[in-house]
Structure 1
């Protein structure tokens, strides 16, 4: 069995699409199933097999080493500074997620001439419920694609082809942590890719929901899929509402209901043993830092957007410094130890990864590489009881092929 089929069979595929770009004559992406998956037209040769094993984030999810002069948090990884902030452009702050930090960063890179285009995901114009890879060459195009998309996306499916078609252009890439990891893996094999894509931005990700999850949201809103002319998972406020628009109506649902009750429970199985939902391989990461009630539980009441700002590399640090110096973003120091209370899922996922991965290894004899992820130290942060429960639950799910 080839490595690609094994990754799919063992529920390790993230759906990033990079294998379809690297082996474009042999691999295509199936966009019709619940999650995006590669399909082989012909078998990879030995050299291609080795390349795939190196780049695939389903198999290789190593984290970078600590950089000189940077901090390293046991749970939250490398960073030069930890801040809470937002775009100083009110329109960007309102329309984008998490205070507009990533959208503003991409727009600044374009306006400063540091990149020629931004590779990211936006809603398909032809089918608003689906995602499509886009290259934005102007700030307005970036902003048109702002807002989180909680459904399958493969932003790397045509990456090499994009570079080949634009040989003298530089790009910023925005994607999920696993997408960024795949791209870093590729850059390690082909350093010239790093010259073409010098900026890698990401966000905290709790997993990729299935298309069936989107269908369930529409059912709850009592809207037919073929009637949709525009669909926003969030944005236009913070956290922003899920909005399904037709020619006749506009139906809304709160973020807590759409993500928490419907979409979240449908995430793909690979995401349940993810070692990195926090973008450790990115240059710059942002995330929601929710307001909390008196018991520390995250609140999703609408308010002015703000997001975590974590530069993880020299490139990210310099980018943030430039935007602050030019009054493009505002930010204030943030204690990362406080993030546990407002991102409890990420905290526990990192801390219990070792137990969940061990359970999958025991049952299915397979496990992704996760070097540098500080898994044992993180496990101590979460505690023995939590990890024992995670192991037992994951063991039972693995026996039934649910992880």
Structure 2
């Protein structure tokens, strides 16, 4: 019987069927039988072409896929309860005012990407950008110049599988994409490219983008450009085409895009890019109650060096006057990242809720979930109950 089974297809199907797929696309590196495409729900999902066996590919998939397993990386410095491994942390922005405005959060990742390719520290960096031929979609892109880095500036709150296009060099990706690529390389070649990431609150369905464009009077199929953020901080959701429209960040993300996230994102133990060399997020201003405000202003980022190599790269970028940074206390950052704090605090409860609803969940190790659950028992009980109810409804749908 075993000889007749397609072990790779079975392994991939188990991840997708249990709603544990992040859509990262690392599996497309594991085997050329796997391609990524949009599912009926509007998320990137793998399709496995029929063929025999592939025991080795199945084992590599199991070792790589963040929908199967995820282990927190070893720290080269200290460990923060929310942000994980830390060598050093700063607040800051790109020195170039154009880059700072173009980026979603101070332009730091755009500036670093341009710096890497400009000085030859990476011949190529794989990232994500608007699809030139179909602007409503987000696609992987290859960045080899400052101009290409600027063209890819700005967040893309949409499904994309950046690692599926990786062919060496550096990468800028979501935390799950970076973690998946790192696990894949650990299981195969042992290569160690420079990896950059950003704080991620989850991946919305493509249907969320299409629906928001339609709500604002546009046609998703007739766009000439679409920007989720940037051109200011936090920047507006803006599209142009046969009709044009825009909406502020709080409305576009908080009331539309952020409400249509894939299931795996809701139990994610790492929304801040622990597997990267450098991770960047918004350092929001706050009101008198300590809650983030989203008034337009000059972009400000929190920049975390996860590795000594990442810290050295940041130091070179500061010396070259690419970045302007000052040290920061990460406890101050935790206070202005309430979504990340809440998700980390109740991650165990949410995972338990999915288990009680009959779903498998990935094996998460090293993220301190039990300690956080014991510190927040009632919140985790509520999270387990709510997650179980929602998961049962989705299974019946």
TM-score band w.r.t. shorter chain: over 0.9
Q: Which structure 1 residue ranges, 5 or more long, are not aligned?
A: 164-170
1:71-100 CA distance string (max 9 Å, x none): 111111111112110010101000011101
8 Å Cα contact 2:15-2:68 kept in structure 1: yes
With the length of structure 2 as denominator, give the TM-score of the two structures. Answer: 0.94
1:182 corresponds, among 180, 183, 202, to 180
Equivalent position SS for 2:135? coil
Q: Quick check: 140-149 or 34-43, which moved more? A: 34-43
Q: Distance in 2 between matches of 1:365 and 1:86?
A: 42
What pairs up with 1:217-296 in 2 under 5 angstroms? Answer: 217-246=212-241, 249-296=243-290
- Check whether the contact 1:208–1:268 (CA below 8 A) recurs between aligned residues: yes
Seen in structure 2, the aligned counterparts of structure 1 residues 365 and 240 have a Cα distance that, compared at 3 Å, is: closer
Q: Could you tell me how far apart the structure 1 residues matched to 2:360 and 2:19 are?
A: 10
**Aligned partners of 2:189 and 2:10: how far apart in 1?**
26
Q: Work out whether 1:307 is the aligned partner of 2:304.
A: no
Partner of 1:48: 57
| d(CA) in 1 for partners of 2:326, 2:10 | 49
Question: Which residue does the alignment assign to 1:341?
Answer: 335
For residues 326 and 345 of structure 1, what CA distance do their matches in structure 2 show? 34
How much does 1:20 deviate? 1.9
State the match for 1:389 in structure 2: 382
Distance 1:402 1:66 in 2: 38
Q: Which residue of 2 aligns with 1:297?
A: 291
| Mapped pair 1:379 → 2:389 | no
Q: Secondary structure at the match of 1:219?
A: helix
Alpha-carbon shift at residue 338 of structure 1 (Å)? 1.8
- Separation in structure 2 between the aligned mates of residue 125 and residue 356 of structure 1, nearest angstrom: 38
**Which residue of 2 is the match for residue 155 of structure 1?**
162
How far 1:400 sits from its partner (Å)? 2.3
How far 1:251 sits from its partner (Å)? 1.5
User: Which has the larger displacement, 365-374 or 297-306?
Assistant: 365-374
Query: Is the 8 Å Cα contact of residues 149 and 233 (structure 1) preserved in structure 2?
Result: yes
TM-score, structure 1 normalization: 0.92
**Partner residue of 2:200?**
205
Q: Post-superposition shift, 1:402? A: 6.5
- State the Cα distance separating 1:396 from its structure 2 match: 1.5
| Equivalent position of 1:136 in the other structure | 143
Residues 198-252 of structure 1 show CA distances to partners (whole Å, capped at 9, x for unaligned) of: 21000010110001101221122111122210000111000011111115x5321
| Aligned pairs for 1:106-145 within 5 A | 106-145=113-152
Contact 1:269 1:402 in 2 (8 A): no
Which segment is superposed worse, 9-18 or 37-46? Answer: 37-46
Alignment of 1:160-175 (within 5 A): 162-163=167-168, 171-175=169-173
Query: Residues of 2 paired with 1:32 and 1:354: CA distance?
Result: 28
Alignment counterpart, residue 61 of structure 1, candidates 57, 70, 87: 70
For residue 4 of structure 2, what is the aligned residue in structure 1? Answer: none
Q: Secondary structure at the match of 1:191?
A: coil
The ranges of structure 1 where at least 4 consecutive aligned residues each deviate by more than 6 angstroms after the TM superposition are none
Deviations 1:15-62 (A, max 9, x none): 1112123211x2222236311111111255222211111111111121
Offset at 1:179?
A: 0.1
**Is the Cα contact below 8 Å between 2:302 and 2:333 reproduced in 1?**
no
CA distance in 2: counterparts of 1:116 and 1:287, whole angstroms = 25
Is contact 2:126–2:171 with CA below 8 Å preserved after alignment? yes
